[in-house]
Chain A
Amino acid sequence: MPVISPHAFAPSAANDLAAGVPLGLREKVRRLERAHSAQRGGRAASVALGMPAIDALLPEGGLLTGALHEIEAGPAPSGRVASHDGAALGFAGHIVGRFARQAGGTILWCRRPTGTFDAPPYAPMLSAWFDPARVLMVTAQRDADLFWAMEEGLRCPGIAVVLGETRAADPTAGRRLSLAAEKSGIPALLLRTQPAPPQSVCATRWRVASAPSHSTPGLSDVGAARWRLELRRNRFGTPSAAEIPSWLVEWNDETHCLSVVSQTLDGSSSAYWPESDAARLVG
């Protein structure tokens, strides 16, 4: 005997309503909702990166708090993927530090060790961006456990920011994290050591790779760390002139701040990254 659900014939009111509302208005409502949930958690709606050229493109002048941000390690100019690139972690550390300064509480750092050799984040260096004493370090053996731990963290009001470190993320997990972050107003970061297919739902996606530093003229010492930064996805943000805006940024380890050295235009950026996957700018 077939079982008929009582809801089978009732028109889904919510869906109909949503379908009738224009796209722009829906975004506006979501934005208001997010600002509200962030406010409820006693947080600002967004946190500036500290680089005016980049912040200008981001919604509310910075990274949204109640949202998911992805950072992926990009391939080097030679095409090599440095899966343990310190640069992506450095940029993630900078963002975590920005969020942690704005909201007190614990930093939940979830990571999944990668197979053959493991290089965990090194706290003495991380102390340049935030106080490692605030970190609660969680190690998960499976991706499912990692995302579960992140979601639990996103529901806990005492958490300042949640960071997950894994190889790749599936879209469902990204969607769940995004929703959990939106609800609580706690920022979620996903640090991936491999470029992933671009369909996952996140507010911003960054690609970071090390770039040659600038040494003192006449010497061959290692200068201040420089990173090639790409904004692959900028949901809710202002579209830029370039298809994929990209910058060369420098991190000053004395003043502890990031600054833009030069802005790379679209053409040169696609030359910089050999494979070019189409990324949507405004979602």
Chain B
Amino acid sequence: MRLADARALLPDLVTTAGEPQADRRLIETIANWCDRYTPWVAIDPLGGAIAEEGTEACSAGGFGGDAGLLLDVTGCTHLFGTGEAGERALLTDLTQRLSRHDFSCRAAMADTAGAAWALARFAERQTDLFCPRHGQRAALATLPVEGLRLDAPILETFLKLGLRRIGDLYPMPRAPLARRFGDQPLARLDQALGTLAEPIEPRRPPPAFRTRLAFAEPIGRPEDIAAATSRLLAALCRQFEQAGVGARKLEIALYRVDGSVDRTSIGTSRPNRDNPKLMKLFEEKLGELDAGFGVELMILGAPEVEAWDGTQDALPDQHTSAVPVGIDGTTDLADRLALRLGIENVVRLLPRDSHLPERVQVTAPIEAKPAAAGAWRRVAGLKGARPTRLLQRPEPVDVMAPVPDDPPRHFSWRQHKHRIVRAEGPERIADEWWRPRPDGSRPPAGGVPLVRDYYRVEDDDGGRFWLFRDGAYKVAANGQPTARWFLHGFCA
């Protein structure tokens, strides 16, 4: 029905413009909130109003109201009670909490995502929303065939043929059905009945290890949150010990009373399961978390774990005040530094076999294996005199060099003129032709390769610099030979 028709029928109709993006944000917020029940939450791709970024296309069902979420609660229901009672309790809890936030919702639980999808939308009685174990065949039989998530043309044909209920499909011979309608109806039916697996793709990868702590009363004080974190961490570290792993990344999520979620995470450079050390890392980050009006639930998960490398934690020494540390405390120090300054700002230096001075030094993340002892000395030993500081990008300088292949007499850099008293060179460093240039091009086969002639020069103050001339002298239009000169480093 068009808006004009609707207004003609009902002049008092209240209308607002649809906002697919806002709808999407809202459903994402709700999906975040649902992480409290299970880490395995997906936004239903067939759920109606989920407009993809930048597209206006919505599947049939209109705006907003038909949006759906799929939760895989396998192994999560025991937190609400044992067996079926727990499953029912989770479902009731979910519906009640959502309606407390003024969302009208229908939630169904079944063995398969397809059955739950159909029940949530088409079940007639409230009691039908919970489908007992292996009961989906009976539960689906009376539901309309729309519950199978079929494409519109197939659905239309089904209705024309008088196949109105899902149960009508049960006695149909499968081969003719597949021949006439393709794979979809049978696949959907099998998925709903559980004979065909239907993977749900979670929004964020579910952590392999996870602990949760729910509070009877919302908490808000930073000390309380720190204490709760420490309790969660202790429980998680026990799980790590049993599984023989250590955490590389931990994420803590605060579920606030107003339905919003705040998260923060820490990373470590080697598998870690030492409770006090991890707590120390968290203390840095807890200040960033906002408890809002109060926190009713906290979940600590480990999205990244690695096999425990077998390093034994040192026992605290009674006689000295030395800190008990894993190996020597350096990895923990690196973790703390990386946490505050950013992982890219705490690095190791690795040598690389290259002729180009700027390519010799590589920065690598902390967890990288350090260079072998003497590797640096070997790299440096092959080369000539090198500067103590190397400019990240060579700075162009103005020079006065009377004779080609001679070092310059003067050079000016940053408005200072340096008179050159002593000089050494040239040391020719050619482009590595076997390696593509940074812009992806290879040096032309017949052309002149990029060549630098390096000079170590000393000015009248005693300052020592590393200059280079880019390429050979060329004759300019006015007949004068020209070359570009650069400053590349400062020598000891």
Contacts and interface: CB of A to CB of B under 8 A. Distances in A.
Interface in B231-251: none
A246 B336 CA distance: 41
Contact of A152 (B336, B371, B385): B336
Contacts of A220: 421-423
Contact of B377 (A77, A121, A127, A209): A127
Nearest to A225: B492
Interface string B382-395: 01011111111101
Interface stretch (B45-53, B72-80, B323-331): B323-331
A178 B436 CA distance: 49
A149 B345 CA distance: 11
Given A119-B489, A158-B330, A221-B424, A138 B388 contact: no
A222 B333 contact: no
Contacts of A253: 385
Contact of B333 (A82, A153, A211): A153
Given A85-B490, A210-B463, A106 B349 contact: no
B464 A123 contact: no
A48 interface: no
B49 to A, nearest CB: 43
A213 B421 CA distance: 10
A123 B320 contact: no
Given A90-B492, A125-B380, A133 B375 contact: yes
A89 B492 contact: yes
B212 interface: no
Interface in B447-492: 456-458, 460-464, 489-492
A30 interface: no
Interface size range of chain A in the complex: 35 or more
A118 B391 CA distance: 6
Interface in A160-213: 209-213
Given A137-B346, A221-B422, A118 B392 contact: yes
A120 B392 contact: yes
A186 to B, nearest CB: 11
B13 to A, nearest CB: 57
A82 to B, nearest CB: 5
A222 B464 contact: yes
Contact of A131 (B374, B424, B460, B461): B374
B330 A120 contact: no
Interface stretch (B159-167, B217-225, B252-260, B358-366): B358-366
B490 A84 contact: yes
Given A86-B490, A122-B386, A158-B328, A138 B391 contact: no
B423 A222 contact: yes
A124 B350 CA distance: 10
A123 B349 contact: yes
A283 B346 CA distance: 36
A139 B389 contact: no
B465 to A, nearest CB: 8
Interface string B161-176: 0000000000000000
Nearest to B330: A158
Interface string B328-354: 111011101100110001111111000
Mostly, the B contact residues are: mixed
Contacts of A223: 422
B269 to A, nearest CB: 11
Nearest to B326: A158
Contacts of A127: 376-377, 379-380
B391 to A, nearest CB: 5
Contacts of A141: 341
B371 A149 contact: no
B10 interface: no
B61 interface: no
Nearest to B386: A125
Nearest to A212: B462
Contact of B461 (A80, A117, A121): A80
Interface string A43-65: 00000000000000000000000
A105 B330 contact: yes
A226 B462 CA distance: 8
A158 B329 contact: yes
Given A40-B320, A225-B492, A226-B462, A136 B377 contact: no
B462 A211 contact: yes
A183 to B, nearest CB: 10
B361 A124 contact: yes
A135 B348 contact: yes
A122 B388 contact: yes
B109 to A, nearest CB: 50
Contact of B371 (A77, A86, A90, A133): A133
Contacts of B363: 137
B337 A152 contact: yes
A159 interface: yes
A138 B492 contact: no
Contacts of B492: 86-87, 89-90, 93, 125, 225, 227, 251
17 contacts: A80-B461, A90-B388, A117-B391, A117-B393, A123-B349, A124-B379, A126-B388, A131-B373, A131-B374, A137-B347, A139-B347, A148-B340, A158-B329, A159-B330, A213-B464, A223-B422, A228-B462
Given A82-B463, A212-B461, A226-B462, 19 more contacts: A82-B490, A86-B387, A86-B464, A117-B393, A122-B386, A122-B389, A124-B379, A125-B380, A127-B376, A131-B377, A136-B334, A136-B346, A137-B349, A158-B328, A158-B333, A210-B463, A212-B462, A222-B422, A222-B457
Interface of A: 40, 76-78, 80, 82, 84-87, 89-90, 93, 105-106, 108, 117-128, 131-141, 145, 148-149, 152-153, 155-159, 209-213, 215, 220-223, 225-228, 251, 253
Q: Lowest 7 CB-CB distances: which A-B pairs, in order? A: A158-B328, A90-B492, A76-B461, A86-B490, A133-B371, A124-B380, A119-B389
Interface of B: 320, 322-323, 325, 327-330, 332-334, 336-337, 340-341, 345-351, 357, 360-361, 363, 366, 370-377, 379-380, 383, 385-393, 395, 416, 421-424, 456-458, 460-464, 489-492
